[in-house]
Amino acid sequence: MLNFNDIPTVGSIYFAGIGGISMSALAMLLKNKGYNVCGYDRTTSELTDKLEKNGIRVFYDTKESNLDGVSCALYTTALCADHPEILQIRKKGIPLYERAQLLGAIVKMYANSIGVAGTHGKSTTSGMLAYVYLEDKKYDPTVLVGAVLPEIDSTYRIGNDENIVFEACEYKDAFLNFFPKISVVLNVRLDHTDYFPDLEWLVSSFGKFISNTDKTGYSIVNLDSEGAVKAAQNYKGNLVTFSASGNRNADFYASNIVMNKGFAEFDAYKNGSYHMTVSLSVPGVHNISNALAVIACSDLCGISKKTVIAGIKRFKGVSRRFEYKGKFRGADVFDDYAHHPDEIKASLTAAKGMGYNRTVCVFQPHTFSRLHDLFDDFASSFTDCDLPVFADVYSARENNIYGTTSKQLAEKVSGSVYLDSFSEIEEYLEKNIHPGDLLIFMGAGNITELAKKITEK
C-alpha cells in the first residue's frame, strides 16, 4: 500500500498517461504540493494544454531521455502492460505505481474522505456534493471528480480543510485502494465486462469496497439497487440507506415527487419524518437517487439543511452529463457521456419529459466487449428515442474479436440509422433535424467532438 510519504521529494514525478481526466488532476495536485511533475501522453488535448500552461512538461513521444531525473512514476490502466512507456520505466528500474494507488495515498491524508462509487452517477453525485460544500464558505474541500465542474472549470479543486470528495471507480478494482470515512454506493450493474466476467464478481468487488470503509465511518447504499444491497449484505459497520422509489425501510427516501419539464422537486424523508424539500436543476428522475445520496451524506457530515437545499438547487450538472451545447438547425443540442444501457435509458427518459417535439440520439458505443456482452440491453435502450442514429464503435483499448458492430445494433433497433463516419452523420443531421427537436450525442468516446463541431457552425 502506497503512503504519501513514500513519494520522493527529490527528482521528478512522471505520469504515464498524464492527459487523462484523473491523471491530470493528480498531476496538478502534486504540482501544487511542490513536486516537480512531468509526463507522457500520446496527443495534445485541452487537459495537456492546461498542464503545460501550469508549468508541467508533457512529452508526446516515448524516449529514454524523458525519464532523466525521474525518481518515481505513475501510470494509468489505460496503458497496457507492454506499452513502450511502461516497459521503458521498468527497464530503468524506476518505482512504478498505478493511478489509484496515488489517489488512495492522498485520500488517507483527509480526516473526512467521501468516496462515491457506482456503475452510474459518480460524477454527477460527487459534483453535486461538491456544490453543497462550496455553498458555505466555512468549508474548503478538496474535490476530484471525473468531469469538469462549471463552478471551478476543472475536474479538481485543492482545498485546505479536512474534507475530500472523490470518485471511486470500480474498473480493474481501482476502488479497492481507497479506505474512505464515508463510502457511497449508488448502484451496481454489470459493466466493464472486459474485466468483470459476471455480475457476481462485480458485486463481490463492491462488497470489498464497502468493507474498506473506516470503522468509525458510514457506508451509504441505494436500497433500490439489488446489486448494491447484495454488496452490502455482509457489511458489519454503520449502514445508511436511501430510496428514490419511496421505500420506507430506507433511512432517507423520496416522496411527493413532481416533475416539471424533466426536472424533479421532491420531499426527502429521514427515518420516516419530513426532512427537506429539494428542487433539482439537472434533468431526469434518476437524479432523485443521486440527490438522496448527497442529502444522506450531507446529514452525516453535519451540513445545514439550508446549505444542502441551496447547493443542490444551484448544481446544473457536470461536463458531458446531459450538457447543453447550443443550437443546430433550430434544435437544442446536448452532449452526454451515457455508454451503458441503463444510462442511455435514463437520459432518453429525461429527454422525453422535457417537452420537445422529437428526441434524436446519435450514439457511439464504447468498446466492443461492452456492446457484445450487453447487446440485447443496448437494443432495448432506445424506446424513448424518436430517431436513433448509430456511429461506429469507439474501440478504446480493444480489437473487435467479437464481430459485434454498430450496424448490427441498428438492425435490431426499429427506425434507427447506421452511418459509418462523422461526416455522413453530419450530412444526415443537416437534412433530418428540425426546429423543436432535442438532439443528444451519447457515448464515452470522441462523439463529443461532433457535438462541439455542429454547434460551432
Which CA distances in Å does 366 have to 90, 191, 278, 442?
30, 11, 34, 10
Residue 151: what pLDDT?
80
Helix (H) or strand (E) holding 371: helix 368-373
Which CA distances in Å does 87 have to 11, 60, 65?
20, 16, 14
> Which of 3.40.30.10, 3.40.1190.10, 1.10.10.10, 3.40.50.300 is the CATH number of 108-314?
3.40.1190.10
By the 10 Å C-beta count (0-12 exposed, 13-18 middle, 19+ buried), 451 is classed as: buried
The ranges of the chain annotated as CATH 3.90.190.20 are 323-455
Radius of gyration (C-alpha) of the chain in whole angstroms: 22
Q: Quote the cell numbers at residue 248.
A: 420506507
Q: DSSP string spanning 100-120? A: HHHHHHHHTT-SEEEEEE-SS
Phi-psi region of 376 (alpha: psi -120 to 50; beta: other; left: phi over 0): alpha
Ordered strands of the 112-117 beta sheet: 154-157, 142-149, 163-167, 112-117, 182-185, 218-222, 238-243, 252-260, 263-270, 273-279
The ranges of the chain annotated as CATH 3.40.50.720 are 7-99
Number of neighbouring beta carbons within 10 Å of residue 208: 12
∠ CA(353), CA(358), CA(362), 5° rounding?
100
Residue 3: what pLDDT?
85
* 3-class DSSP state of 380: coil
pLDDT digits (tens, 9 = 90+) for 137-162: 999 999 999 888 888 888 899 999 99
Residue 317: what pLDDT?
86
Report the DSSP beta bridge partners of residue 96: 73
* Residue type at position 97: Y
Residues in the chain: 457
- Assign a CATH topology to domain 323-455: Protein-Tyrosine Phosphatase; Chain A (3.90.190)
- Assign a CATH topology to domain 7-99: Rossmann fold (3.40.50)
Rounded Cα–Cα distance for residues 444 and 128 (Å):
21
Residue spans of the chain under pLDDT 50: none
